[in-house]
Amino acid sequence: MIDDPVTLSRLLTFITLGFHIILATVGVGIPIFISIAEFIGIKKKDHHYILLAKRWARGYTILVAVGVVTGTIIGFQLSLLWPTFMQAAGKIIALPLFMETFAFFFEAIFLGIYLYTWNRFKKPIYHWLLSIPIVIGSSASAFFITTVNAFMNTPNGFDVENGVFTNIQPLVAMFNASMPSKMSHVLTTAYLTSAFILAAIAAFHLLRNKSHQYYKKALHLTMIGCFVFSIATMINGDISGKFLAKYQPEKLAAAEWHFETEENATLLLGGILDPDEREVKFGIEIPYALSILAFNRPSAEVIGLNEFPEELWPPLYIHYFFNIMIFIGMFLAAVSFIYLVFYYFNRFNSLNRWLLRAIVIGAPLAILSIEAGWIMTEVGRQPWILRGFLMVEDTATTSNHVFAMLVLFSLLYISLAILLPTILIRLFKKKDAEKELEEHHVIL
């Protein structure tokens, strides 16, 4: 394995992306909440919300700095590890890659301005306006990059004649079939995950018996975000399932261990597969549910894996990642729903310690679910890198040095993974919110 460039390139891409997507996700999601908090603070003349926006922005900056770094790495690594793929992709899907750099450029400029102009404007609303380009820029980056990933799943917008790509239509390639479902799922889950991380911070402080209004406001604001975006995530998650059933049936079938094409298909949760007999043990089966997930009709026919040659099957272990993603999604929706019920019905205490604990656990779970979702969709595309056109094994670098690079980057990510949380914690401990609230008593 140490001298197989394909496996090693996959592994290196996996750890780079596995690390980067966490930062990318919060990089896309947090600006919205900074912007909302500042807006509420200005409108209500409530300096708690302003401080909230300030402190979030401070942590966000460090996360973005490291996210820029890992994003630059994956940008270059695609060419370094998958030169043949990028040669082909450059011909067809270069447009969104190119536009992504613009979107990021835009975001970077305004983030720089936003951070250093808190007290530069006579009217605070002018400062708030600067947050809009950050929100637009970060979400647009996510949009453009996701179209490239969607293109890898459902390539479109070109013809192949004698092994050469012709009749290239960049916009058709960009707006390919999986773009809408992927894009909406990526964006809402990024907002959801970020909301849960921010909520968990507030819940954590409340659990440690800090009772300042500041934390309660932070918790309430972010829990509303959690609820809204978990509903949105469930809806577009369902759309994604229907998309797969229609355009990438082998991925859905592999995720569901669904071998025979049949009507009234059963949804499978968990379980252990006997690979020879194709029998599932210990699984929970929900009748008709897969047909409903796939086509909204209990009697609908769902295509099974046996329709495809076995060498083109995605690895069957994606079933577990698919399940993890769904379970966590349900958990997050339930927690935010219960919180809101408790909050608006006075009979219950929305600051119940068990509920707060569930919110704190929600943050790492949300990140886990992002990872699981990406593994499910990327591994579910195997063995293709460009579905139907290019195989992963034919596009990797032929260099003998991938293993050394794998070690090099692993060391880098390990040190960043240790330093990043340490520095964030130290930064916020040095100056806690209560102290800052005293200092900035009259801000508006």
- For other proteins, the binding residues in 90-129 under the rule CB under 8 A are 90-92, 94-95, 97-102, 104-106, 108-113, 115-117, 120
Per CB under 8 A, the segment of 57-65, 245-253, 293-301, 320-328 that binds other proteins is 57-65
Q: Interacting stretch for other proteins, rule CB under 8 A, among 46-54, 64-72, 266-274, 323-331? A: 64-72
Cβ 259 vs Cβ 221: under 8 Å:
no
Contact between 405 and other proteins by CB under 8 A: the answer reads: yes
Q: Determine the interface stretch with other proteins among 248-256, 277-285, 333-341, 408-416 (rule: CB under 8 A).
A: 408-416
- Cα distance between residue 210 and residue 205, in whole Å: 6
Options 235-243, 257-265, 305-313, 414-422: segment touching other proteins (CB under 8 A): 414-422
Comparison of 146 and 189: residue with beta carbon closer to other proteins: 146
**Interface mask toward other proteins for 253-292; x: CB under 8 A:** ----------------------------------------
Q: Which is nearer to other proteins, 15 or 269 (CB)?
A: 15
Candidates 41-49, 69-77, 341-349, 380-388: pick the segment binding other proteins (CB under 8 A): 69-77
Which residues contact residue 400 at a Cβ distance below 8 angstroms, ignoring those fewer than 6 apart? 3, 5
Out of 11, 15, 40, 68, the only residue in the binding site for other proteins (CB under 8 A) is 68
Round to whole Å and give the CA distance between 111 and 134: 6
How far, in Å, are 51, 101, 282, 434, 435 from residue 441 at the CA level?
10, 40, 59, 11, 10
Report in angstroms how near the CB of residue 391 gets to other proteins at its nearest.
Answer: 16
d(CA 173, CA 132): 29
Based on the shown chain and the rule CB under 8 A, indicate whether residue 408 belongs to the binding site for other proteins: yes
Buried b (16+ CB within 10 A) or exposed e, 321-338: bbbbbbebbebbbebbeb
Only segment of 74-82, 357-365, 367-375, 383-391 that touches other proteins (CB under 8 A): 74-82
Site for other proteins in 420-439 (CB under 8 A): 420, 423, 426-427, 429-430
Give the x-and-dash track for 151-170 against other proteins (CB under 8 A): --------------xx-xxx
15 binds other proteins (CB under 8 A): no
Q: How far apart are CA 193 and CA 142, in angstroms?
A: 14
d(CA 427, CA 271): 44
Rounded to the nearest angstrom, the gap between the alpha carbon of residue 339 and the centroid of all alpha carbons in its chain is: 24
Q: Quick one: 57 or 244, whose CB is closer to other proteins?
A: 57
Asked if 195 touches other proteins (CB under 8 A), the answer is no
Question: What stretch of H or E contains 268?
Answer: strand 267-269
CB of 51 to other proteins, least distance (A): 17
Contact 321, 376 (CB under 8 A): yes
Handedness of CA 401, 403, 408, 410 (dihedral sign): positive
Residue 412 interacting with other proteins (CB under 8 A): yes
Alpha helices per DSSP H over 248-317: 249-256, 289-295
- Does residue 86 belong to the site contacting other proteins (CB under 8 A)? yes
Residue 66 interacts with other proteins (CB under 8 A): yes or no: yes
DSSP state at residue 279: E
Left, alpha or beta for 279 (phi > 0: left; psi -120 to 50: alpha)? beta
| Least gap, CB of 134 to other proteins (angstroms) | 11
407 near other proteins, rule: CB under 8 A: no
The residue whose two tokens read 């919205």 is 32
